[in-house]
Amino acid sequence: MAGTNTGYGMDLLRFATAGSVDDGKSTLIGRLLLDSKAIFEDQLEAVEATSEAKGYDYTDLALLTDGLRSEREQGITIDVAYRYFATPNRKFIIADTPGHVQYTRNMVTGASTADLGLVLVDARQGLTEQSRRHAVILSLLRVPHLVLAVNKMDLVGFDQTVYEKIYAEFTQFATKLNVPDLEVIPISALQGDNVVTRSENMPWYSGPTLMHHLEHVHVASDRDLIDARFPVQYVIRPKSDEFHDYRGYAGQVAGGILKPGDEVVVLPSGMTSKIAKIDLFDQEITEAFPPMSVTVHLEDDVDVSRGDMIARVKNAPSPSQDIDAMICWMTTTPLQPRQKLAIKHTTRTGRALVKDIQYRLDVNTLHRDQATNELGVNEIGRVTLRTTVPLLCDPYSKNRTTGSFVLIDEATGVTVGAGMING
Amino acid sequence: MTQTHSDYRLSQLDQLEAESIHIFREVAAEFEKPVLMFSGGKDSIVMLRLAEKAFYPAKIPFSILQVDTGLDFPEVMETRDRWVARLGVNLVVASIDDAIKNGIIPDAAKISRNRLQIPTLLNAIEEHGFTAAFGGGRRDEEKARAKERVYSHRDEFGQWDPKNQRPELWSLYNGRLHEGEHMRIFPISNWTELDVWDYIGREDIEIPSIYYSHQRRVFERDGMLMSETPLNPLRDGEVVEERTVRFRTCGDITLTGCVESTASTIAEIIDEVAVARKTERGATRGDDRFSEAAMEDRKKEGYF
Ligand SMILES: Nc1nc2c(ncn2[C@@H]2O[C@H](COP(=O)(O)OP(=O)(O)OP(=O)(O)O)[C@@H](O)[C@H]2O)c(=O)[nH]1
Ligand SMILES: [Mg+2]
């Protein structure tokens, strides 16, 4: 790819698109890739040929990301497409998500790992229920940075008042959400205005282009480096002569900084020990922090297995079997009290019983409907669960890894719910 | 001691490595019988390296599986054998020729070996009872791959249903299976071609020599430079000449083209990849050129 650099020093920004169907998400990603020279000749030629064959007046850039046959046939996005590009200092992982309400679960999939959410709005239509739903989901998922792209400005004559009206409407709505960082950019995804190059059609706009913002948004402080959390994934026991007594706990650091000598507690047993050393492949390292995958050794021969968590003695989550969480429900059979599901939280798996559905969130008004007794597909609500195993969890607002879980239907094996723990 | 991180930031390559290692460990912990599908190409070598790191100093706790098309580059087989010997892993070879001999798949001389890989692979997965198969597919390779989950569910026929994939949230992977189903696992989903080269350079690991510039007797077919080999008879008008080339992917010798190149070090390859105007598959893979949905169709049937 032209315009790219090698990856040693680069940092990483993951972002996800969001917004109603046809607001131009896929077109925008196509434009971003094209203008940052991340599209190869053979890819562009294929898309030009398809657009021509379909009798379009212009090249449909959405075809660059709508990679499934049914998506191309229907002209909509069904599932997330992951695309990649890089500028000299940053690599971007883009999740282009579907706007159609039926595929909200796929939008949640794409947004769950994002550092930044890019909500598109069609300038002609303003905010729709779906743009609000997606903004609510991004805020619940604690995606720390939000961009509202007012798209199709070409269709409203690049009119500043249209932009300002949507800007005002959205900021009004966003005050009720958790949106720590918001940027509102008027664009035309189709023509490229304010995407990579500054628009000459909108001299009244003095803010950054989308690309400039993506390159410079500060993501360093989004991680928790205070509360050490190490979910044990796998116990490494070589059973070889050379490494006869080797016993290491492998996992990915979920929070804080781990160092040899740290006094630690193993949960849920509560046994304490000290970190003897930390391995990264064949090297011993002096500290481990998120999201490193390392192997931790303890000084004492305590019982540790997959699903346990290593934390600091004076700063550990308290194991709990009563979970209060926001749930995005993702299947057509509604979530109801007394339902039993499998639950996966960090490296722990157990079963969960739905004790109570406290309320359903109306994504338009943010009203809490307490009268409801179930959550339908694509609905969001606050739920109380009782789990068979204690979860070693933090509030999702403190830690996106130790605060999240998924619910799995035990009969079908399908992931049916995404949970974010309150606290 | 590795580099210090005064600001507690990991470079993107280190983040990708950490994510992939997490996936390997998750699968090893949750699946009864995983296997790593090894093609001998650079992506499967990067997978092997990541698996080595994930379980070190223990051996990789699963076998590796290779579908022997009978049309593989000899250089690739040599590299495979050295990796297998160094890591001490168990190698399972599923050969298309054997599958034909044993009547498992039809001897359809007209069907490309590329397509015969699918039933051979599915048969091997079933025969050995593998419940999870790691593949080196990357989402940047192709637009259908760009849609696929890290844990990609396959039904009892080995098929992928792209319109009905399981949600995949955070790094919480769902490995639930029913009898007869299996999971394809793509631990380097988020790596780009450039990341793979960066990593090979950084780790200083062996890849097949055909990736580096060399002299080769080639002929032109469908706009691609193909290797001269008795496995791929010349057609009318095709002429063989010696050129300085290298391969961007390693596939079936009769379908994988090479590019003219003098890049003989990783650094030179990276420079070349960075300015390439065509995708690695679009440029040199005959198997992906049949139609716009060629990859999606093969994936639905159970391709890698
Ligand atoms: N005039 C104009 N048309 C646009 C612009 N952006 C997108 N479009 C058109 O709007 C239509 C929908 O665009 P897509 O990019 O497919 O929309 P989407 O948001 O990805 O839709 P889903 O993924 O299905 O939710 C296409 O016909 C685009 O060409 C724009 O800035 N100006
Ligand atoms: Mg789209």
Distance from residue A126's CA to the centre of ligand 1 (Å): 15
> Is B25 close to A251, i.e. CB distance below 8 A?
yes
Return the residue matching tokens 């046809």.
A22
- In three-state secondary structure terms, B101 is helix
Q: What's at B230, amino acid-wise?
A: P
> In this complex, which of A234, A238, A405 lies closest to B29 when CB atoms are compared?
A234
> Is A306 close to B169, i.e. CB distance below 8 A?
no
Contact A91, A10 (CB under 8 A): yes
Residues B190 and B258 both lie in one domain: no
**B251 in a structural domain:** yes
Number of domains making up chain B = 2
What DSSP letter does each residue of B213-268 carry, written as one string?
-EEEEEEEETTEEEE--TTSPPPTT---EEEEEE-SS---TTTB-BEE----SHHH
Q: Is B97 exposed, middle or buried (0-12, 13-18, 19+ CB in 10 A)?
A: middle
> In this complex, which of A4, A10, A251 lies closest to B11 when CB atoms are compared?
A10
- In three-state secondary structure terms, B172 is strand
Give the span between the Cα atoms of B112 and A20, in whole angstroms.
43
pLDDT tens digits, chain A, 423 residues: what are they? 333 344 556 889 999 999 999 999 999 999 998 888 888 788 888 888 888 888 888 888 888 888 888 888 888 899 999 999 888 889 999 999 999 999 999 999 999 999 999 999 999 999 999 999 999 999 999 999 999 999 999 999 999 999 999 999 999 999 989 888 999 999 999 999 999 999 999 999 999 999 999 999 998 777 789 999 999 999 999 988 888 889 999 999 999 999 999 999 999 999 999 999 999 999 999 999 999 999 999 999 999 999 999 999 999 998 999 999 999 999 999 999 999 999 999 999 999 999 999 999 998 889 999 999 999 999 999 999 999 999 999 999 999 999 999 999 999 999 999 999 998
> In this complex, which of A43, A68, A400 lies closest to B296 when CB atoms are compared?
A68
Q: Report the pLDDT value the prediction gives residue A153, as an integer from 0 to 100.
A: 98
Contact A145, A115 (CB under 8 A): yes
Residues B164 and B273 both lie in one domain: no
**B1 in a structural domain:** no
Full 3-state SS string of A73-87? HHCCCCCCEEEEEEE
Q: What's at A330, amino acid-wise?
A: M
- In three-state secondary structure terms, B123 is helix
Contact B75, B208 (CB under 8 A): yes
Half-sphere exposure of A400 (CA within 13 A, CB side): 20
Residues B253 and B187 both lie in one domain: no
Q: Does B289 touch chain A (CB under 8 A)?
A: no
pLDDT of residue B124 exceeding 80, the answer is yes
Q: Which range, A44-58, A407-421, B119-133, B152-166, has the best average confidence (pLDDT)?
A: A407-421
> In this complex, which of A106, A281, A401 lies closest to B170 when CB atoms are compared?
A401
What is the domain range of residue B139? 12-194+294-301
Phi–psi pair at A236, nearest 5 degrees: -95, 115
Return the exposure string of B250-270: e unless at least 16 CB atoms fall within 10 Å of the residue's CB, then b.
bbbbbbbbbbebebeebeebb
Q: Report the pLDDT value the prediction gives residue B281, as an integer from 0 to 100.
A: 63
Residues B44 and B168 both lie in one domain: yes
Residues B165 and B231 both lie in one domain: no
Phi–psi pair at A39, nearest 5 degrees: -105, 135
Give the span between the Cα atoms of B133 and B38, in whole angstroms.
10
Please tell me the pTM assigned to this model. 0.93
Return the residue matching tokens 């779906």.
A130
Residues B237 and B138 both lie in one domain: no
Phi–psi pair at A108, nearest 5 degrees: -65, -40
> Is A285 close to B17, i.e. CB distance below 8 A?
no
Distance from residue A188's CA to the centre of ligand 1 (Å): 10
pLDDT classification of B97: cutoffs 50, 70, 90: confident
Residues B108 and B74 both lie in one domain: yes
> Is A105 close to B5, i.e. CB distance below 8 A?
no
Give the span between the Cα atoms of A272 and B225, in whole angstroms.
63
**Which residues have a Cβ under 8 Å from the Cβ of A235 and sit 6 or more positions away?**
A247, A248, A249, A250, A304, A305, A306
Give the span between the Cα atoms of B62 and B187, in whole angstroms.
15
| Backbone φ/ψ region at B55: left (φ over 0), alpha (ψ -120 to 50), beta | alpha
Q: Report the pLDDT value the prediction gives residue A1, as an integer from 0 to 100.
A: 35
Q: Does A387 touch chain B (CB under 8 A)?
A: no
Return the residue matching tokens 């909200």.
A104
Full 3-state SS string of chain A? CCCCCCCCCCEEEEEEEEECCCCCHHHHHHHHHHHCCCCCHHHHHHHHHHHHHCCCCCCCHHHHCCCCHHHHHHCCCCCCEEEEEEECCEEEEEEECCCCHHHHHHHHHHHCCCCEEEEEEECCCCCCHHHHHHHHHHHHCCCCEEEEEEECHHHHCCCHHHHHHHHHHHHHHHCCCCCCCEEEEECECCCCECCCECCCCCCCCCCCCHHHHHHHCCCHHHCCCCCCEEECCEEECCCCCCCCCCCEEEEECCECCECCCCEEEEECCCEEEEEEEEEECCEEECCECCCCEEEEEECCCCCCCCCCEEEECCECCCCEEEEEEEEEECCCCCECCCCEEEEEECCEEEEEEEEEEEEEECCCCCCEECCCCCECCCCEEEEEEEEEEEECCCCCCCCCCCCEEEEECCCCCCEEEEEEECC
Give the span between the Cα atoms of B135 and B63, in whole angstroms.
13
Residues B111 and B227 both lie in one domain: no
Give the span between the Cα atoms of A344 and B74, in whole angstroms.
45
Residues B99 and B175 both lie in one domain: yes
Residues B56 and B175 both lie in one domain: yes
* Nearest chain B residue to A329, by CA: B167
- In three-state secondary structure terms, B92 is strand
Q: Does B61 touch chain A (CB under 8 A)?
A: no
The residue count of chain B comes to: 304
**Which residues have a Cβ under 8 Å from the Cβ of A116 and sit 6 or more positions away?**
A13, A14, A15, A16, A143, A144, A145, A146, A147, A214, A217, A219
> In this complex, which of A40, A67, A347 lies closest to B146 when CB atoms are compared?
A67
Q: Report the pLDDT value the prediction gives residue A9, as an integer from 0 to 100.
A: 67
CA torsion angle B34 B40 B45 B51 (round to 10): 20
pLDDT classification of B2: cutoffs 50, 70, 90: very low
Q: Is A89 exposed, middle or buried (0-12, 13-18, 19+ CB in 10 A)?
A: exposed
Give the span between the Cα atoms of A86 and A253, in whole angstroms.
26
Residues 275-334 of A with CB under 8 A from B: 279-287, 289, 291-293, 306, 330
Return the exposure string of A194-232: e unless at least 16 CB atoms fall within 10 Å of the residue's CB, then b.
bbbeebeebeebeebbbbebbbebebeeebbeebbbbbb
Domains and CATH numbers, chain A: 11-222 (3.40.50.300), 229-312 (2.40.30.10), 320-421 (2.40.30.10)
**B136 in a structural domain:** yes
Q: What is the rounded average pLDDT of the residues B92-113?
A: 76
Contact B165, B184 (CB under 8 A): no
Ligand 1 site, CB within 6 A:
A 21-27, 60, 62, 76-77, 98-100, 151-152, 154-155, 188-190
**Please, which residues bridge with residue A183 across strands?**
A147
Best residue among A21, A26, A27, A104 to mutate for probing ligand 1's pocket (most ligand atoms within 8 Å of CB) is: A27
| Gyration radius of chain A's alpha carbons | 24
Residues B43 and B94 both lie in one domain: yes
**B201 in a structural domain:** no
Residue B39 CB neighbours (<10 A): 22
More confident residue, A223 or B204: B204
ipTM of the complex: 0.94
Cα angle B148, B153, B159 (rounded to 5 degrees) comes to: 90
Q: What's at A164, amino acid-wise?
A: E
> Is B18 close to A292, i.e. CB distance below 8 A?
yes
> Is A40 close to B278, i.e. CB distance below 8 A?
yes
**B18 in a structural domain:** yes
Atom of ligand 1 nearest to the CA of A65: 20
**B5 in a structural domain:** no
- DSSP code, position B273: H
**B76 in a structural domain:** yes
Give the span between the Cα atoms of B283 and B289, in whole angstroms.
9
Q: Report the pLDDT value the prediction gives residue B1, as an integer from 0 to 100.
A: 35
Give the span between the Cα atoms of B205 and B192, in whole angstroms.
18
**Cis omega (within 30 of 0) on the bond before A180?**
no
A285-299, B64-78, B186-200, range with the lowest pLDDT: B64-78
Residue nearest to atom 6 of ligand 1 (CA): A24
Q: Report the pLDDT value the prediction gives residue B292, as an integer from 0 to 100.
A: 63
Distance from residue A130's CA to the centre of ligand 1 (Å): 15
Give the domain CATH number at B167: 3.40.50.620
H-assigned helices in chain B: 12-30, 42-55, 74-87, 96-101, 113-128, 193-203, 266-275, 280-284, 294-301
Q: What pLDDT digit, counting tens, does each position of B35-50 carry?
A: 999 988 999 999 999 9
Q: Report the pLDDT value the prediction gives residue A8, as an integer from 0 to 100.
A: 59
Distance from residue B172's CA to the centre of ligand 1 (Å): 32
Q: Report the pLDDT value the prediction gives residue B3, as an integer from 0 to 100.
A: 45
Cα angle B259, B263, B265 (rounded to 5 degrees) comes to: 140
Residues B118 and B219 both lie in one domain: no
**Cis omega (within 30 of 0) on the bond before B162?**
no
- Order the strands of the B241-246 sheet from edge to edge: B224-227, B214-221, B241-246, B259-260
* Nearest chain B residue to A82, by CA: B146
Q: What's at B71, amino acid-wise?
A: L
Distance from residue A34's CA to the centre of ligand 1 (Å): 15
> Is B169 close to A418, i.e. CB distance below 8 A?
yes
Half-sphere exposure of A366 (CA within 13 A, CB side): 14
> Is A67 close to B292, i.e. CB distance below 8 A?
no
**B150 in a structural domain:** yes
